[in-house]
Amino acid sequence: MKEAARPEDVLAFADAVLSGETNLNANLANIAALLGQFLPRINWVGFYLLERASGDWVLGPFAGKPACTRIAPQRGVVGAALGDRQTLVVDNVLEFPGHIACDDASRSEVVIPIISQDVVVAGLDVDSPEFSRFAAPDVELLEELCRRLGTHWQSFHWY
């Protein structure tokens, strides 16, 4: 059983992470671990980042099983959501045309874009072994987290 956390506690922890450090890798790693620790009934959580040269979405920090490293534009749930610049909730991934199965246990999924200076720079992807796992208030919490990440994105650096 995971530790329960209130949404405001998750956001407060995320704010502490984001205000204390500007390394993108470190911050995304800690936020993936935070969500992995506190979101119940999920089997994978992590980030896909825009590779500007190819337009592909490339695997970033995550918590879960090893995952597909590269997703082409408009492919899978990730490519669809990020290409459309919109949160995409898939209640049954087995019925989603083109779903990319990284973990066979996944049954539902949500992908939320992270937007910085009007560009979708990355996405947050969460998978669950339960059908229809993702609804408010969890989706709203994840969207708020992604808004805050987008706001800080320009101040982050990789090295």
Positions touching ligand SME (CB under 6 A) are: 44, 67-68, 71, 76-78, 99-100, 102, 106, 109, 125, 127
Cα–Cα distance list, 158 to 6, 32, 38, 88, 144 (Å): 30, 17, 26, 28, 23
Find the length of the chain. Answer: 159
Residue number, 96 or 153, with CB nearest to ligand SME: 96
Q: Quote the CA–CA distance of 45 and 26 in Å, as a whole number.
A: 15
- The CB-of-16 to ligand SME minimum distance in angstroms stands at 26
Pick the closer one to ligand SME by CB: 36 or 76.
Answer: 76
* Neighbour tally for 21: CB within 10 Å: 13
Closest residue to ligand SME using C-beta atoms: 76
CA distance 96 to 126: 15
Residue 97 or 137: the one with the smaller Cβ distance to ligand SME is 97
Strand partners, 70: 58
Smaller CB separation from ligand SME, 11 or 75: 75
| Least separation in angstroms between CB 76 and ligand SME | 2
